[in-house]
Structure 1
Amino acid sequence: MQHRTVFEVMTHRVVTVSPGTPFKEIVRLLVEHDISAVPVVGEDRRLLGVVSEADLLRDTSELPDLEGRWAGVRLLSRERGLPEAETAADLMTSPAVSAQPGWNLVETARTMDRKGVKRLPVIDETGRLVGIVSRTDLLRPFLRGDTAIREEIEHDVLGDTLRLAPDTLRVAVDDGVVTLTGRVEERADIPVIVRLCRSVDGVVALHQSIDYTYDNLALDVEPPR
């Protein structure tokens, strides 16, 4: 049983900028390509950081108020004589949160949620940019057809992986929702079956009504001879 990896769903042709790319050029690229962030790379395509819409808006939001006073970062920068953010190097978030090509989609989704980002640059073992993965890319496997999901569960999970006899369990799939019915020998097998079936690409939810012959989770029950 194989699951899709980041490499299979990511965008391979990535819009990038260099550290010296001006503010306005970054805005133009985001609007032109309808993207929310752009990786910043060096000459060897090593990932240096990421500039997002939030980074750009954060910089431009420091505007003078009605009394002509400057707020926040810009006031502090001017008082200290520091340069304002004019290029990707000034604007980018670094180090950037990134993914690796071999990550599974669940691991990637958890990283996005935990870090609060909409897309992740994908880098190889040397730190070079090889792609970018978005939330939409992670949702694409849920477009998988019910027949393909059912066949993978029946053949790959129940048959090849768990070695259950044919017709031990019946599998129904409706709009990605899987229903398992039937009977297995041992009660302890049920959580394993559910976990493996739930991990199949495209499964939205899983319901089960699986009976068992032997309750091997009860401590006071003798195992069958």
Structure 2
Amino acid sequence: MKHQKVSDLMSDAVVRVQRGTPFKEIAHLLQEYDITAVPVVDAEDRPVGVVSEADLLQKMWGGDPGLSPEYEDRSRPGGGKASATDAAGLMTSPALCARESWSVVDAARVMARHGIKRLLVVDEGGRLIGVVSRSDLLRVFLRADRAIRTEIVEEALVGSLGLAPSSMQVDVVHGHAVLSGRLPDDVSVTVLEEHCRRVDGVVAVEFRPAGDTGAESSASVGP
């Protein structure tokens, strides 16, 4: 099974600045485009840092050491930022980046680990090509139930576990997958559920042995 990639969900319209971009121009860009941070790139369009609203606000309140809301675990003493006049002095560096080939799981894991809301996306040469946010990644949960069901059957049951497509009744409603049937001795319920959870858009997985209709019935999604 292949998760959607960062390149499938990212936005390629990225406002960017260079090291010499003045303070006021950065403030203007954040307001004009209604964004909270802007990447700083070098002459070859490779990210070297990020300037956020928090970085600019240090000019206002004196630049005492503190934590940037978007780059908490990588922030540094901010005293110098209070006197900075351009992106080079204001930016938090290095910038956290994702490769366009990363899966949505890879990107979500890095965002969670570092407590950030978005990742810059770079190509194989390290050049900035987009940005992906938490809300972008959450779009995988907007997949149609029919598409989720098809992938569970074709990729999880047949492709990964080697089961016949007719061996299991698969119902998906609002991302909740219910599988009914008999499992072969060499496939456990745990393994079955694990493979189904790997399908993008699955919210929950439930297995019901043949003959067990469960407390509630689930509306069937047709083939």
Which category of TM-score, normalised to the shorter sequence, fits these structures? Answer: 0.7 to 0.9
Contact 2:49–2:91 (Cα < 8 Å) also in 1: yes
Residues 187-213 of structure 1: CA deviation (Å, up to 9, x unaligned): 6433222122111111122222347xx
Normalising by structure 1, what TM-score? 0.80
In the alignment of these two chains, the number of paired residues is 198
- Summarize the Cα distance change of 1:54–1:156 in structure 2 as closer, same or farther, 3 Å threshold: same
Amino acid at match of 2:4: R
Normalising by structure 2, what TM-score? 0.80
Local SS of the residue matching 2:97: coil
Structure with larger Rg: 1
Q: Matched residues, percent identical?
A: 49
Aligned to 2:36: 36
Amino acid at match of 1:117: I
| Structure 1 unaligned regions, length at least 5 | 63-70, 212-225
Shift of 1:25: 1.5
Contact 2:60–2:82 (Cα < 8 Å) also in 1: no
| Structure 2 unaligned regions, length at least 5 | 66-77, 211-223
Residues 57-83 of structure 1: CA deviation (Å, up to 9, x unaligned): 334222xxxxxxxx736xx969xxx98
Shift of 1:93: 0.8
Q: CA RMSD in A?
A: 2.2
Aligned to 1:72: 64
Contact 1:99–1:108 (Cα < 8 Å) also in 2: yes
Amino acid at match of 1:185: P
Alpha-carbon distance between aligned partners in 2 of 1:107 and 1:56, rounded to the nearest angstrom? 30
Alpha-carbon distance between aligned partners in 2 of 1:180 and 1:60, rounded to the nearest angstrom? 58
Aligned to 1:182: 181
Residues 77-131 of structure 1: CA deviation (Å, up to 9, x unaligned): 69xxx98122111111111111111111111111111111111111223221121
Aligned to 1:220: none
Matches within 5 A, 1:1-225: 1-62=1-62, 72=64, 84-186=83-185, 188-210=187-209
Contact 1:37–1:119 (Cα < 8 Å) also in 2: no
- Summarize the Cα distance change of 1:133–1:77 in structure 2 as closer, same or farther, 3 Å threshold: closer
